Structure 1
Amino acid sequence: MQTNAATTHIIGWDIGGAHLKAAWVSGDSKVRAVYQEPSPLWQGLDKLKQALTKILADLPDQRLLHVITMSGELVDLFADRAEGVVEIIALAQRVLAQQTLLVYAGRQGLISALNVGAEHIDDIASANWLASVTYVAAQLEKGLFVDIGSTTTDISLWHQHQLDVVGYTDFQRLGSDELVYPGMVRTAVMAVTQSVPFAGKEIGVMSEYFATMADVYRLTHELNEQHDQSDTADGNAKIEQASMRRLARMIGCDADDFPAEQWRQLAYAIRKQQLDRIQSACEKQLLRTES
């Protein structure tokens, strides 16, 4: 679709299961603003509507071209991914009213929301990673794209400006380690590790939702408050003392059983296991270039 660059502002939307992200690019191709709002889609479409409406209120009141990509179709609010894609697009159409809306359909490119059919569903579902790496590959000749989000990590290889990936769907990418499920915020600690070195011993980790990786990265001072938009495991404060308490529960302790520095060391030990998992997945992709 052709647009008048002098008058058209483009709004790119990434509709996830937990967050809504948006980027505003003006007609002169400059990024004017980026946004991220919590949007726990599994709690209902109204959560997405609220986030969309809040961001829209900050956008210019002039000609806009909206483009959406998504991964939120996977949440268990929907019976299946196809229903999720259809419902998310329908909501976006209602909220954006008469404005132009395009949908990113992966290898099929951009499609008008009015023309989306059943044959596009598989390419629309969880294609946000492909939008990112395709752009980067156009700018750089070769590389390994690693995108660590709140919940997942996307790993994609490219060379000579062309993608060299094994899978495109979530199922395919989970099998090729191009999609791995540790993230920096929402991932449960129990999903990252089954045992940790602590107080001179190897201690088993409880399979309980007592703490998340946000607690880990809060204690390592690597989590920006602006990016910490999800609820804590116990619904309590996002402060270091509360994170120590939550991590302590993971190994059957209370926070005052050991000094604060030992809880920080525990956080680093969990962090290492997560990064080892991501590094292993990266190495798997790089090894393909040697075979």
Structure 2
Amino acid sequence: MKFATYVHQGKESVGLVDAEAERIYRVDAADMVELIARFDEIAPAIRMNGNGADLAEVRLLAPIPRPRRNIFCVGKNYRDHAREFANSGYEAGAVKGAEIDDYPAVFTKPGTCVVGPGDTVDTHPRVTSSVDYEVELTIVIGKGGRDISRAEAHKHIFGYTIINDVTARDRQKNHRQWFLGKALDTFCPMGPWITTADEVDAENLQVKTWVNGELRQDANTRDLIFDIPGLIETISAGTTLEAGDLIATGTPAGVGLGFSPPKFLKAGDNVTMSISGIGTLSNPFA
């Protein structure tokens, strides 16, 4: 199943998406986090019925427009991207020959970054001159927990969505800690919806990005250095995960800093991302 947050006739709702028929059906939940947390209770009443609307008639928001906690993010989780980042000159303290980390690099993005499909991303020209894109398969936690083992990890996943981990590379480098380069308003487009875990093989999904129609990123989640169960095990070690938490799993090679000269984003650009089995996320930059 696919679930979206949307606005129809001035009202924000959560809905079940029929992607083939391009329709959405309202679900009786206050918001997406409530749907996730109470899914076993709510699920029997979910159906495609008379409450449907054409997708063309609604405005899709980010699936979780107002995350209750910061978004967990993983850096350098594809080998080719780890190498292009280390060789780009934008990774503070990069050591040749040590591009692949022994442990996942984990940082966060605040919920104030989040925007939805089609929303405009601010390039913040007074703050940065090196805005970059990063397509990321993103885990949506369903069942909370702490000290979750690899073997139990998939039981805690509600589904998956797409995040564009927009990054100011100069701030990422200058401040060494990545937060300020990742935390600018609008720097977390998310969507178009959440696809439940039973519908996708998350370890075998094609991940792509186009900038103004040019294919830039094209990889498969088989190439993740630290896999999904391992990430959940690592992040939950001593830290309680909650229903609705988001874990962005990292981006493949092909980001703007990997080109010579770098191909950073500018006002007027459009970035489109797709992950097989989930959907397509597109945003203009200004």
| Higher RCO (C-alpha 8 Å, min separation 6) | 2
Greater fraction of residues in strand: 2
Q: Whose Rg is larger?
A: 1
